[in-house]
Structure 1
């Protein structure tokens, strides 16, 4: 991308309600997502953008900072900014929904369903984690590959006590959101969750499912979700490639427990 192409294709709209930095951000984001700007391409120097459009340095810097925050570019000291490989960026200080997260970064979410069934014989660890009552020992299992623009991102196993969602195995989760079905059909909505993240080596089967081009490590993510009543209603384990996922958290000094109703547990093992 050269400065002439930029001047021909980017048009500021002073009358727009969107701030100037937001207009510039959306322009560059669109070029990156449609691969006009590809991984490894160097971004225009900030000073050239300022001079071409008559923008302040602070406006352009704010645009670049937002592109960096969203994982779209990387700033290299003394060398400029470059388009980076596309990674799933997870804010782990709020309850996470894969489909919504994908749509927020401009990619299309989809799923490959590997298993969708009711387990009568439940693994001991799953039964203990879900605190299944003696009279309701069946569990719904949904095993999926989660994709972003057709590229595998997560191998995900979800377990839900079947007495909370009878008949749920009849739904097609290739096209439907699990959380949407749980909310709309069973009035089940996550209120609080605990999550652990662990660095792991991927086995051959997992590498095949995630289409790993090389021997990269992965992250194992384990999550237990609770209803507002405190009842456990979901246990999910996920595997993801470390080169395709970045975890982010906002940190505060001495936060008040009452300020954060969602508790997050991070156990990172190298």
Structure 2
């Protein structure tokens, strides 16, 4: 299964009653696919994988699958303690997802061998192709990733650490030890800011949270980078992505809640975030609106 282009990480809308707003999610996903997403990652980090219970998670994945209608692959987030991760992995498979994004087992620091075991158990529960996300407490060694690359379900590795020395060693080790097709992803928050650095390592795929609320900007940046338009890419980084990251870093969790605020600014009522995250302050939403307007202007939207 090949992924290409801009990868779309939709938010998970919550309605007035507190549950998943399936009709709003369907509109959100269908709009993103129509805008040109290369893949949909439902109930992932941007989608608040930590927030829904199992029935809500199942509804979110099933809705994303139906709204995508087979036009691009749908991957579903799976993480947390092993029994939960296995249960939601099975739910993703039953809901028609094409693959998994295996998230870190948060708050647990484990050795590389334990992390490999965790990935094996989660992927075997679903029997789906999986991308493994290195972030937080899930930090892999080159040898561990080479072991992951031998697992039949694991097709890729998403880096959310930004440790380029480690990532280079991982890439070289995997390429030396396996001839399988194995894909590496840039998974840092607001990944576009580091796309040039990752491309220097040969990592061209990246997740775009911005696509969830400003596909015009995300696609303009992707086109500029892949088309060699360095000046336009620099303008988008300077006028939009840099101030967005500066705003994001003011409050922990804004990598998710600012994206939801951005979707609301574009006219889709996706509700707020659940605890322990917090919604942006009004003055931060005002800043986001100005940053968004600047980005749309540079993108020519």
Give TM-score scaled by structure 2 length: 0.24
Q: Please identify which structure carries the higher strand content.
A: 1
TM-score using structure 1 length: 0.26
More helix by share: 2
Structure with bigger gyration radius:
1
